[in-house]
Amino acid sequence: MNKNLKSPIVTVLMPVYNAGKYLNDAIASILNQSYENFEFLIINDGSTDESVKIIKSFDDKRIRLIENETNKGLIASLNIGLRESKGEFIVRMDQDDISLNHRIEAQINFLLENPQYGLIGSWFEDFGENIPSKIVKYSTIDSEIRIRHLYQTHISHPTAVIKKEIIEKYNLQFDPNQVNGEDYDFWVRLSQYCKISNFPEMLVRKRDHPRNITNQYSQSMSETCTRVKQNQFRKMGIELSQTQTDIYTRFADPEWHFNEVEFNILEELLNNIIIANDKSAFVPIDEFRAYISEKWFHLCYQNKNIKNQGFKRFHEAPFSKYFNLNTVSKLKFRVKSAFTK
């Protein structure tokens, strides 16, 4: 394609801070994309290493470098990028990751062909030195992603492509109060105005190393994610305490080891959450009922702490009716419960 710098359809947005070690590979992976009609907006956030030198070593007119006078932080740099972007779509890129050469083409074509969608991520490879590589396959279905956002982000930030029209129409930006979880919060708010998905192919290699945010700021990230979860439940119509939020997250993640007290708290909590969502339809009602009831079945089936009470506890829950347990599975469950000690 021709490089149309007057009106690029895509802005690739990459904040940079002291990224020297991996920066060359990240930049090259964007410049070698099969889709060429983009500007590459790089925000240098006060780097003190060789980052700027590396950026300027690339002779490509699509690169547009903005330099912050001081280190403003990731969220401020992202918001500068949103304001300065000229493209109809914003492709996020991290300074230490690698985009496969057809990444932009695949995701932009999806958004052009499916205008009801305003955000798309993709599957990705988690890799790094001395760790086993693995492909992470997030759901591609809008309703499933919304439901899973109640306990964790389901769009990986460096795989995201955003329709700028929605950002401008609803005056959206990354929230400075949601440090180390700003993407999770942003996806949840943006998804109020459009459908969201993940492209069903590995398009980004996401590098895991000691200096990335997930490893450096795990406690801060956990606190932010808790707030994002509680904000969602609040919009659903129910207030959750820290303890209730943690129990729901363990249930959804999933974890099958609940003691008797936690089990009782969880059953009441799940019933109240379903009732609240039935009224507000914050997430799709039928899909959410089915999701909760199926996970409740697996919890009752797997949990050894309730011993031979699994079958009984499953059916006592008022929301168990939303899970269609066939005759064979019902018989197996009865037998398992009867012989569990």
Q: Quick one: three-class SS letters along 153-172?
A: CCCCHHHCEEEHHHHHHCCC
Count how many Cα atoms sit within 13 Å of the Cα of residue 97 in the half-sphere of its side chain: 26
Look at phi and psi of residue 67 and say left if phi exceeds 0, alpha if psi is from -120 to 50, else beta: beta
Last residue of a domain, one of 187, 217, 247: 217
Q: Is residue 224 part of a domain?
A: no
Place of tokens 């009801």: 116
pLDDT in tens, 309-339: 788 888 899 999 999 877 666 667 666 656 5
User: Domain limits at 83?
Assistant: 10-217
pLDDT in tens, 151-179: 999 999 999 999 999 999 999 999 999 99
Q: Which amino acid is at 218?
A: S
What are the E-state strand segments in the chain? 10-16, 38-44, 63-67, 89-92, 98-99, 117-127, 134-136, 161-163, 195-207
pLDDT in tens, 33-69: 999 999 999 999 999 999 999 999 999 999 999 999 9
Residue 30 and residue 141 in one domain: yes
Residue 33 and residue 132 in one domain: yes
Look at phi and psi of residue 124 and say left if phi exceeds 0, alpha if psi is from -120 to 50, else beta: beta
pLDDT reported for residue 336: 60
Compute the distance between CA of residue 318 and CA of residue 271 in angstroms, rounded to an integer: 7
Compute the distance between CA of residue 337 and CA of residue 306 in angstroms, rounded to an integer: 9
Structural domain tally of the chain? 2
pTM of the model: 0.91
Given a cut of 50, whether residue 9 has pLDDT beyond it is yes
pLDDT reported for residue 215: 52
Compute the distance between CA of residue 125 and CA of residue 135 in angstroms, rounded to an integer: 4
pLDDT reported for residue 308: 67
Q: Is the peptide bond before 254 cis (omega within 30 degrees of 0)?
A: yes
CATH of the domain at 209: 3.90.550.10
Tokens representing 39? 């500007």
Q: Are 49 and 18 in contact (CB under 8 A)?
A: yes
Residue 287 and residue 175 in one domain: no
pLDDT reported for residue 279: 98
Going by pLDDT thresholds of 50, 70 and 90, the confidence category of residue 3 is very low
Residue 157 and residue 243 in one domain: no
Residue 37 and residue 121 in one domain: yes
Q: Is residue 241 part of a domain?
A: yes
Query: Angle, to 10 degrees, between the axis of helix 74-84 and the axis of helix 182-190?
Result: 40
